[in-house]
A and B are shown apart, each in its own frame.
Chain A
């Protein structure tokens, strides 16, 4: 893992801009990210079945703990392999 020094004026956040919202989910890959709160899986199971009906392919992910931001590797994996992501909070 490489850590570099920010070459910019640091006036903008490091995070990059979000991708444009897709017009339709048909044929797209949608990541379902469970933040690991109780019953998040129940909510996401329901979403997975609905997304399947819309023609989307679903990848499932989970954060190690809801109490911390998603690890950078997980964020990268989702960004690299999905067209959209839905993050589930639940209790």
Chain B
């Protein structure tokens, strides 16, 4: 029995009616059929170029797909069941040399480019790949009953974060995988808490469910790599009873390419890339890692950012170095940083017109990050809005100057916050009495710029236990 798509010996052409070049060469095809036994496979109309026994129906595209036809017309020579030569499009010179017929196509134009084969049409190709076994997808197939609603079926199986997800059909997952050059079988990371190996394909499945576009996939992959590290400690981030989860900051040209929002509502909803990329990561932690709320995720209260929170820094609107430059990456490199946080709360200052006043006020709020009664143990991120940033730009303050001034106001007299002082039991242990300590460890304060043009409000995102005991921010380059 011959294999699917096997071509007969001799001259073979593949054409479609919906192609001007194919229509142009109809007389040539007829002539070659009579003189050289040409067989023609037709992709879209069994009566094209004519209804004849040398015209074969390939409307199911079996022959086209198995022979990697990318252009019509394609002319192929087959000897002993093996293709030995092919040309595409119409070139009188090439066709004459190919067929050794010097007067072939007289009266036709010398050259016409071919058209795209239906077998590589982006709306058709994924289905063909599945039908003919070339999808290369390895994940277990799960069949829903015809009376089951797809979206309800995904809820029933416990695969969602409480919001509907997009069913990860083979076609959608194949399209998603086109967003990366990495092989679907490549292991990306080992996902806590169950320490399950996750492949590019599994990441793609969860990215489909989250609503990502294929071009988002490299960012999702970088996010997964960032959180599945000892430094980020995703297991601890899940298991803590605090309300934290991963927050992602994206830098570099990928922000524009994916139309991420760095402006109005930058920390909120309404932009597909910002919302779906972190959601894909959280779905993956749930579905692959087994990090279920109420299971290993022991958060007492949680926070809405755990659905997925991603901040694209407004680098262009800032006079300062970017957050990824702070983390050691060159300008122009796309990165994502995972930071463990409870999510944003607002810092209000509508009166300060000098950087000195604004910085002192901001520091007074940062002294209360997580609790005013503890120091050094937890990081924080400040997302400075454009209007607040303008104060620093106008005064010519660099990021370094800002940090130095802020640090001055973040030196804490521990005697003021010792356990029991002011009638509050929470506080620093007696062993630290008399000391002056910084609120944050060196490098513990993350500074990012984002937001809409108007509004004298910035945000503080308080962290969780930092250092090797907890979680430190992890940056990964976004590649392909």
User: Nearest chain A CB to B266's CB is how many angstroms away?
Assistant: 29
Minimum Cβ distance to chain A for residue B338 (Å): 21
Contact with B along A1-13 (1 / 0, CB 8 A): 1111111111100
Within the complex, which residue of B142, B167, B196 is in contact with A9, where a contact is CB–CB below 8 Å? Answer: B196
Q: Are B147 and A73 in contact (CB under 8 A)?
A: yes
Contact B159 A3 (CB under 8 A): no
The answer, among B167, B194, B290, for a CB contact under 8 Å with A4, is: B167
Give complex CA distance A4, B205 in Å.
Answer: 9
A50 within 8 A of B: no
The answer to whether B146 touches A8, judged by C-beta atoms less than 8 angstroms apart, is: no
For residue A14, CB closer than 8 A to chain B, the reply is: yes
Are B139 and A80 neighbours in the complex by a CB distance under 8 Å?
no
B231 part of interface (Cβ distance < 8 Å): no
Q: In the complex, what distance in Å separates the CA atom of A9 from the CA atom of B197?
A: 8
B479 proximal to A (CB < 8 A): no
Chain B: minimal CB distance from A49 (Å): 30
Which residues of A lie under 8 Å from residue B145 when comparing CB positions? 1, 72-73, 75-77
**Chain B interface residue count: which class?**
35 or more
Smallest beta-carbon distance B254→chain A, Å: 25
Confirm or deny: A21 has a beta carbon within 8 angstroms of a beta carbon on chain B.
Answer: no
Flag if B137 contacts A5 (CB, 8 Å): yes
Q: How many residue pairs between the two chains, A and B, have CB atoms under 8 Å in the bound complex?
A: 87
Bound complex: CA of A73 vs CA of B148, how far in Å? 8
- Minimum Cβ distance to chain A for residue B179 (Å): 16
Please tell me the size bucket of the interface on A.
Answer: 10 to 19
B288: contacting residue among A3, A7, A16, A76, CB under 8 A: A7
Q: Is A5 touching B148 in the complex (CB atoms < 8 A)?
A: no
Q: How close is B385's CB to chain A, nearest CB, in angstroms?
A: 37
Q: Shortest CB–CB separation between residue A33 and chain B, in angstroms? A: 15
> Do A76 and B147 touch (CB < 8 A)?
yes
Among B167, B173, B287, point to the contact of A8 (Cβ < 8 A): B287
Q: Is the beta-carbon distance between B196 and A5 smaller than 8 angstroms?
A: no
Chain B interface helix/strand/loop/mixed: mixed
- Say yes or no: A7 contacts B169, CB within 8 Å: no
Chain B contacts with A in 135-158, Cβ cutoff 8 A: 137, 139-148, 150, 153-154, 156-157
- Which residues on the B side are within 8 Å of A72 (C-beta)? 143-145
Given the known inter-chain contacts A16-B156, A16-B157, A76-B148, please indicate yes or no for A5 contacting B205, CB distance below 8 A: yes
Q: Does B139 lie within 8 Å of A10, measured CB to CB?
A: yes
Cα separation A4 to B198 with both chains bound (whole Å):
18
Asked if B290 and A5 make an inter-chain contact with CB atoms under 8 angstroms apart, the answer reads no
Q: Please, how many angstroms separate the alpha-carbon atoms of A10 and B141 in the complex?
A: 10
Q: Which of A48-79 contact B (CB under 8 A)?
A: 72-73, 75-77
Q: Known contacts A11-B194, A76-B148; is A6 also within 8 Å of B143 by CB?
A: no
B202 close to chain A: CB less than 8 A: yes
Contact assessment for B144 and A2 in the assembled complex, using a CB-CB cutoff below 8 Å: yes
A46 CB to closest chain B CB, in angstroms? 30
Contacts of A77 in B (CB 8 A): 145, 147
A2 touches B150 (CB 8 A): yes
Instruction: Indicate whether B214 reaches chain A with its CB closer than 8 angstroms.
Output: no
Q: Supply 18 further A-B pairs (C-beta < 8 A) apart from A3-B142, A75-B145.
A: A2-B167, A4-B150, A4-B168, A4-B169, A5-B173, A7-B159, A7-B206, A7-B283, A8-B287, A9-B191, A9-B198, A9-B287, A14-B140, A14-B142, A72-B143, A72-B144, A76-B148, A80-B147
Ordered by A's residue number, 15 sampled pairs between the chains whose C-beta atoms are within 8 Å are A1-B144, A2-B144, A3-B141, A3-B169, A4-B150, A5-B201, A8-B159, A9-B191, A9-B202, A11-B194, A14-B142, A72-B144, A73-B145, A77-B147, A80-B147
List the 10 closest A-B pairs by CB distance, nearest first: A76-B145, A9-B196, A5-B139, A6-B140, A7-B287, A1-B146, A7-B205, A2-B144, A72-B145, A8-B287
